[in-house]
Structure formats: structure tokens, C-alpha cells
Amino acid sequence: MKSPMRLAKAEDVRAIGLAPAAEEERKPRLLAKLKELRGSMRSLAVMLDTCVKCGNCVRQCHSYLGTGDPLNAPPARADLMRKLYRRHFTLAGRLLGRITGAEDFDAQTLDAWLTYFYQCNECRRCAVFCPLGVDTAEVTIAGRHLLSELGMVPRFMQQVALNLQKTGNNMGIPKPALLDSVEFLQCEMLEETGLAVKIPVDQAGSEILYIPSSADFFTNVDTIIGVAKMFHALGASWTISSAVLEAANFGLLFNDSAMRAHNRRMRQAAEELGAELVLQGECGHGWRAARLCTEAASGPVRFRLMHVLDYTARNLGRLALRRLSMRVALHDPCNYARAGDLIDEPRRILRACVEELVELAPNREETFCCGGGSGILMDEMMEIRLKLGKKKAEQIQAAGRIDYLAAGCSICKAQLPHVAAHYGMPDLAIGGVMDLVGKAMDMNRSTGGV
């Protein structure tokens, strides 16, 4: 099956600093890069060798369960790279060929890679169920990175990368537009609370640099409102930076160099503003990139790094929250539950903000992905996205009547409404965790207020 996903044109790929490979150059470059990558990533090296095909992960992968496509089963997906690896880099594969699962590069190789590495949400649920610790997301990440080294980048990723290059955020919001939006939000909050709740922009000397998701300034305004109210109530010294208005780091999802470049934006902004604490906003993979990759991507840093949900959970005692009479279900974003260490924090926050918190099953470390993870948000992929979201939809349906689905990640927030609508829950309200903090906060009673 050929993927409907659109690729960026050669000149657009060049515009983000990548070099497209000519047809005949593809195989040698792919092999050379694979060799290089395998040489520098222990995870990839060991995972290409050790899968025993026990099949335990197969039925744990929502991508396989939702699409029913055999090549979406994690070991089959990883085999797309493994067969090339065996053929060219192992003795047995070179000598015995197909008996060992080795297969050479052919006309279908890249199509298959593009199709199946972009139907894996990099959710790492398979890794949780693999007795040997084979994490197919690592293979997917490596695969996408290799594709980008051949100039094969989804148009969606390319556009985001271009926006990042120009404005430091995925949506391409320039500073004047940001200031206008901030102004508007401040008016809204003034109207609602009667208080001058501020969203400081580029305020040098602030203790905290808050990194929102740029979608907070388009669709998810309640998230940034919740955050601003919390900071206001705590009397915190904080700012956002117009240079890095983006917690997401799509580079992690398609090209390593782009990942590092964005990571350095964060470091640079923190240093310029003199922030001592960098707080990441509601974005799943962005938290992973910030927490696990900053040291490698940006070198030693002087600031502390925390997630806003962790920060909020620690400060719950200082916020005057009244429980909203709502039945709220919590969706654990993959990158919070697997790698992010943000499992109890959202629960503690929600218990303080709403009357009833419902758990989806399975949850926590075994959570299912929303189906948009790893940036599979392309419009042309909608049909596949809905299949990828099938498991999540079933979980939500099983939770019974709920008033709100809390998903503290911008990708989830973008993907879940489509999933909910498609699977018969068009009226389900979906939003962030901080949104509810904002709504539950009694601004005039919170301690530490200005």
C-alpha cells in the first residue's frame, strides 16, 4: 500500500537545509547513513539484532490493531530496516540471504519505509511489552531520520521546520501577532476575573521561562490562560519568549539536526533572559526532547528544567481551587507516561480541580496513543489517523459518560476531536489539564496573588 502522505518538493527540502538525493544516489547514501547511525546509536544496534519474533508486542500496538495491516506490527515494521541491515552488515545475511531475513534495497524499499515509519506513532508501547527491551520507536525514529537524509520529508514536517526556522514556532507566529494575541488574552482574563493577569513576553530577568505550545495561541487558548492564572496566583516571575514559542520539537520526529537546532533555541532564550527555571508547556514529545535530549543537543545547561504539570502539582497547596462539578477522564499522553515521569502529577492536579476523575483502561505506562503521536497530523492522512485512534476511541467509549477529556499534549488536542467525532462522540469536550486549573481557580482567594 502506498501512503497518501505528501512529501515536500526538492526545493522546499533544500530550504530547511537538507539535501535531496538523486534516484541513483539513494541506495548508497541510505546504506552509508544506516551504517553511521547504527555505529552511533547503541539502541539501534542492539535492537536490529535481538528481536526474537515472540510476537508479544504485536497485539499491543494500536497502529497494528487499528489498521489491521500486518506490516504495522512492530516486529514487521522494524524488519523493514532489519532486512537491509542483515543483507549488508551481517555475515550470515551476506552469505545466506533470505534465509536469515536479509533482503536488498529495491524499488519498494523507500515506499515501504515512508508508509510504515509514518504509521508508527513512536508511542513506545511495544517496548513496554518486549521482554528484550526492543523499542520499535527507536527504529522508526532512525528510519525517518534516514529518509530525511535522502531528502524525503513529509510536506507537513517541512512546513513546520520552515516556520521554526523563521519564527521559532511551529505555526509561524511572528512577534507582532504574538503581542496582539497576548493583549487579547489579557483583556479576556481581565473581563473574566477583574484582575490584571499578565502574560509577559521577552521579559528579561524573569525567573521562569515558560515554553508554551504555539497551538496555545491558536486553538488551545484555555491552556495558556490556565498557566497565566496559575503564575499570577503564585506571584511568580515568569515570561514567554517570542524566539521560542514552541514546546514541540518536530526535529525529534523526522530529523536529528532539526531537533538539536530547536533545542538550542530553548537554551539560548533561557540564557538571554537569564531564566533560572525552564518550564515546558503541554506537549508530549516536546517534553521528551527537552528532558532527555537537552544535554546531548545543547551541552551543559545552567537552568533547571521542569514540566508545567510537575510544577503545578508541587504548588497545588498554594492555589485556591474549587472542584468543578465535572466527570473528567484523563488521557495519558505516551511521552508523559513512557519516559516523561508525568503520571501522578496530572492525576493530583485533576483531583484538586474536578469532582470526578475517571481512569481509562489501560492507562499510565500502558496507555494507548491518541493516534496522532509523532506528528502524524497531516490532513491527507486523516483516514489512517482515524484508524490509529481506534483503540483510544474504544477506551473513551468504555469510560461512559464524561464531560471532558483531559489530554495535556497539543498533538493529542489536535487529533482527539477528529477521533471522538468519527467514533460517535462529536460533543465530547477535549482540552488540556492546565485549562481546568484555570477554570477551577478562585483568583481572589489564591495565596501569593499580586
Partner 1 sequence: MSYVDVNGKQIEVDEDGFICDPDLWNEEIVRCFARLEGVDELTDDHWKVIHYLRGYYRQFGIAPMIRKLCKETGFNLQRIYELFPSGPAKGACKLAGLPKPTGCV
Partner 2 sequence: MFFFGYILPYAAAAVFVVGMVRRTWDWLSRPVPLPLTVSSVAGGRRARAAAVAKELVLFPSLYRGDRRLWLSAWLMHASLLVVLVGHTVGIAFAAQQFRYFGASKEASVWLSGAMGLLVGLVFTVALLTVLYRRAANVEVKRISGPDDYLALVLLLCVAASGLAMRYSAEVDLAEVRTYLAGLLVFRASPLPRAWLFLVHFAAVNALLLYFPFSKLVHLTGAFVGRSLLVQPPPVYPTPADGPTAAPLFSQGDRP
Find the binding residues for partner 2 in span 190-249 (CB under 8 A). Answer: none
Query: 120 contacts which partner out of partner 2, partner 1, ligand SF4, none, CB within 5 to 8 A by kind?
Result: ligand SF4
121 binds, among partner 2, partner 1, ligand SF4, none (CB under 5 to 8 A by kind): ligand SF4
- For partner 2, which is the closer residue by CB, 104 or 355? 104
303 lies in the binding site for partner 2 (CB under 8 A): yes
DSSP class of residue 324?
E
- Asked whether position 297 contacts partner 2 by CB under 8 A, the answer is yes
Measured between alpha carbons, how far apart are the two ends of the chain, in Å?
59
173 touching partner 1, by CB under 8 A: yes
Q: Which does residue 6 bind out of ligand SF4, partner 2, partner 1, none, counting CB within 5 to 8 angstroms by kind?
A: partner 1
The entry of ligand SF4, partner 2, partner 1, none near residue 256 (CB within 5 to 8 angstroms by kind) is partner 2
Task: Choose the contact partner of 173 out of ligand SF4, partner 2, partner 1, none; CB within 5 to 8 A by kind.
Answer: partner 1
Binding track over 108-127 against ligand SF4, x by CB under 6 A: ------------xxxxxxx-
Q: Which residues does 349 contact at the CB level (< 8 Å), separation at least 6?
A: 309, 312, 313, 316, 433, 436, 437
Annotate each residue in 377-416 with x if it binds partner 1 (CB under 8 A) or - if it does not, as one string: x-xx-----------------------------xx-xx--
Residue 380, C-alpha cell as written in the block:
491527507
Among partner 1, partner 2, ligand SF4, none, residue 295 binds (CB under 5-8 Å by kind): partner 2
x/- map, 76-115, ligand SF4, by CB under 6 A: -x--------------------------------------
For residue 305, give the DSSP letter: E
| Number of DSSP helices (H) and strands (E) in the chain, helices first | 22, 8
For cell 533560572, name the residue: 276
Q: Using the rule CB under 8 A, which residue among 8, 16, 189, 279 binds partner 2?
A: 16
Cis bond before residue 154 (omega within 30° of 0): no
Q: Applying CB under 8 A, does 256 fall inside the site for partner 2?
A: yes
**Residue 78 near residue 113, CB atoms below 8 Å:** no
Using rule CB under 8 A, residue 310 touches partner 2: no
Does the footprint of partner 2 cover residue 345 (CB under 8 A)? no
Q: What is the DSSP track for 381-415? A: GHHHHHHHTHHHHHHHHHT-S-SEEEE-SHHHHHH
**Farthest-apart Cα atoms in the chain, separation:** 76
In Å, what is the CA distance from 28 to each residue of 87, 140, 153? 14, 20, 18
C-alpha R_g of the chain: 22
In the shown chain, the binding pattern of residues 123 to 152 toward ligand SF4, with x for contact by CB under 6 A and - for none, equals xxxx--xx-x-x-xx--x------------
Grid cell locating 58:
504485536
Say whether residue 164 binds partner 2 (CB under 8 A): yes
Which of ligand SF4, partner 1, partner 2, none does 411 bind, CB closer than 5 to 8 A by kind?
A: partner 1
User: What is the DSSP annotation of 57-106?
Assistant: TGGG-HHHHHH--GGGSHHHHHHHHHHHHHHHH-HHHHHHGGGGT-----
Give every CB contact of residue 6 below 8 A, 6+ residues apart in sequence.
154, 155, 156, 378, 380
Binding segment toward ligand SF4, per CB under 6 A, in 54-62, 239-247, 311-319, 320-328: 54-62
- Those residues whose C-beta lies under 8 Å from the C-beta of residue 228, and which sit 6 or more positions away, are 185, 189, 197, 198, 199, 438
Look at residues 299, 313, 373 and name the one whose alpha carbon lies nearest to residue 125. 373
Residues that bind ligand SF4 (CB under 6 A): 51-57, 61, 63, 74-75, 77, 120-126, 129-130, 132, 134, 136-137, 140
Binding site for partner 1 (CB under 8 A): 6, 155-156, 159-160, 163, 169-174, 176-177, 180-181, 184-185, 188, 213-215, 217-219, 221, 248, 283, 377, 379-380, 410-411, 413-414
